[in-house]
Amino acid sequence: MKEILASLPRLNDKYSIFSCITEDAEIGDSEFLFSAKDGMTSKDMMTRCGSKILDGYRPTFDATAIERMRNAGGKLIGKCNMDEFGFGTFSTTSAYGIPKNPFDLERSCGGSSGGSACAAAVIDGHISLGASTGGSICCPASFCGVYGLVPTYGRVSRYGLVDYGNSLDKIGLISSDPERIARFLPVISGKDTKDSTSCGQPKLELKGKRIKTIGVPEEPLAGVSKEVLSSFESSLDALRSMGIEVNRIKMPSLKYAMPAYFILATSEASTNLASFVGMRYGQQDGDLSLKFDDYFTYFRTKYFGEEAKRRILLGTYTRMAGFRDRYYSKALKVRLHIIEYYKKIFSEHDAVLTPTMPFVSPRFDEISKMTPIESYSADYLTCPPDLAGMPHLSVPCGYNRDGMPIGMQFVTDHWEEDSLITFAKDWDSAFDVRKPEVSL
């Protein structure tokens, strides 16, 4: 562990993993090292959510997930770079460094938990806390060739997580070793009196339950690149050889998940970000002689990034009188329909399986040419389970001819994390997972 701590500055110079690194180089009584997405509060490091507007903000408390990891013997080594407030697919909207894919430094780690996935890929046996709203754990896990688990909404306390979308945000785990995910999910799970949404779940039990039947929806595969589809189809053969029944199914309602997600997520985000006005957290360098509206406008214009502004505007619009029923209320109905459709599938199958992302990690020059709509569309496979609040897992399933990782995503019914973790461990034994070449 001392070697890892000593290597952090060099790793960060190369990969831009962290926005902050611990200043305490002593191991002390710590039993393991972990990192956390910079959207979670930590009392010994700044929490900035990838945004200039929070520069200088030092919380006085830990997020519950971080506190529980510390209490279990963990040492927080750094806060991981992320898209500003989670707004992005490629971690390119961060104000404190854009994490670089360890398989190709010219490519993205994915987003918004890109730094967390990068840490999991380059630090041997590492565990990192990520957060997912619409794919922010599974996307970077797929791009970086590691395992990413998103628990059921409410399984892990959100206390201390700076909100993007309250009804969508979930804290999860990213690691190259599924055994570590199995070890630490029980640590961060459970009731928390500080978060009312964490009080209703059944107790987490990991009994080794196995997935026996999988449904593969045909509709989402139409938008997947040839190289991703080829690896995915090969993985289906591997699953059959493991004794898992694979069936092709229809889930036409999945196409409505992404528009519903963006309406709900941006609506909630525009409300949550209303408190960032330069008077409570982070930057406070405005002209206090201005009227409140003028100060508010000046400050948010100066310090919010373009993507944050775009999503605030979109979310404010969809909640306006006269538009709320047309957009926001309808999106809530779509969410319920998608949950019901998943439940119908789960009455006959243990899991639903798709590729995680429709393409391998793109180069930064390719990302710069994407329109916002093209960038948003990349999340169409990861949005449905997040919208439904269902647990899901991304596992490596192949590599393209350039050696870039490809992932596939399993979705199970609410509270069924056990079968996902069991599968991840079985798959890790059966599949040849490659690791990037990293020199500490």
Q: What is the pLDDT of residues 287-332, one digit of tens each?
A: 888 888 898 898 899 999 999 999 999 999 998 888 888 999 999 9
* Catalytic hit among 35, 42, 116, 136: 136
Residues 83 and 92 sit within 8 Å (Cβ to Cβ): yes
Q: Give residue 324's pLDDT.
A: 87
Q: Would you tell me how many other CB atoms lie within 10 Å of the CB of residue 40?
A: 26
Q: Give residue 2's pLDDT.
A: 82
pLDDT tens for each residue of 368-420: 999 999 999 999 999 999 999 999 999 999 999 999 999 999 999 999 999 99
Beta strands in 25-97 (DSSP E): 32-37, 74-80
Q: Is the pLDDT of residue 439 over 70?
A: no
Among 138, 171, 167, which Cα is nearest to 157's?
A: 171
Would you place residue 175 in the very low, low, confident or very high pLDDT band (cuts 50, 70, 90)? Answer: very high
* Catalytic hit among 16, 112, 157, 175: 112
Kindly state the tokens that stand for 340: 């019901």
Q: What secondary structure letter does DSSP report for 202?
A: P
Residues 40, 43, 44, 49, Cα dihedral to 10°: 30
Q: Give residue 59's pLDDT.
A: 95
* More reliable by pLDDT, 410 or 282: 410
Q: What's the average model confidence in pLDDT over 59-82? A: 98
Rounded to a whole number, what is the largest CA-CA distance in the chain?
71
Q: Is the pLDDT of residue 137 over 80?
A: yes
- What is the residue type of 354? T
Q: How far is CA 334 from CA 191, 216, 261, 322, 340, in A?
A: 29, 21, 9, 19, 10
112 tagged catalytic:
yes
Residues of the chain with pLDDT > 70: what percent?
100
pLDDT tens for each residue of 107-131: 999 999 999 999 999 999 999 999 9
136 tagged catalytic:
yes
Q: Give residue 3's pLDDT.
A: 87
Cα 26 from Cα 18, distance rounded (Å): 19
Q: Is the pLDDT of residue 242 over 70?
A: yes
Residues 40 and 82 sit within 8 Å (Cβ to Cβ): no
Among 43, 110, 46, 56, which Cα is nearest to 83's?
A: 110
Residues 355 and 228 sit within 8 Å (Cβ to Cβ): yes
37 tagged catalytic:
yes
Among 252, 255, 4, 291, which Cα is nearest to 119's?
A: 4
- What is the residue type of 50? G
Q: How far is CA 128 from CA 80, 124, 147, 410, 433, in A?
A: 9, 12, 11, 20, 19
Q: What's the average model confidence in pLDDT over 214-233? A: 96
* Secondary structure class of 138 (helix, strand, coil): helix
2-255+333-430: CATH number = 3.90.1300.10
What value does the mean pLDDT of the chain take?
A: 95
Q: Give residue 341's pLDDT.
A: 96
Q: Give residue 151's pLDDT.
A: 98
Provide the residue ranges of all domains of the chain, joining segments of one domain with +.
2-255+333-430
- What is the residue type of 168? L
Q: Is the pLDDT of residue 440 over 70?
A: no
Task: Tell me the three-class secondary structure of 292-344, residue by residue.
Answer: HHHHHHHHHHHHCCHHHHHHHHHHHHHCCCCCCCCCHHHHHHHHHHHHHHHHH
Q: Give residue 386's pLDDT.
A: 98
Residues 6+ apart with CB under 8 A from 255: 219, 380
Would you place residue 284 in the very low, low, confident or very high pLDDT band (cuts 50, 70, 90)? Answer: confident
* Secondary structure class of 134 (helix, strand, coil): coil
* Catalytic hit among 19, 35, 37, 175: 37
Would you place residue 282 in the very low, low, confident or very high pLDDT band (cuts 50, 70, 90)? Answer: confident
Residue 37's DSSP bridge partners are: 80
pTM of the model: 0.96
Kindly state the tokens that stand for 50: 């990838």
- What is the residue type of 200? G
Distance of CA 413 to the CA centre of its chain: 19
Q: What's the average model confidence in pLDDT over 62-87? A: 98
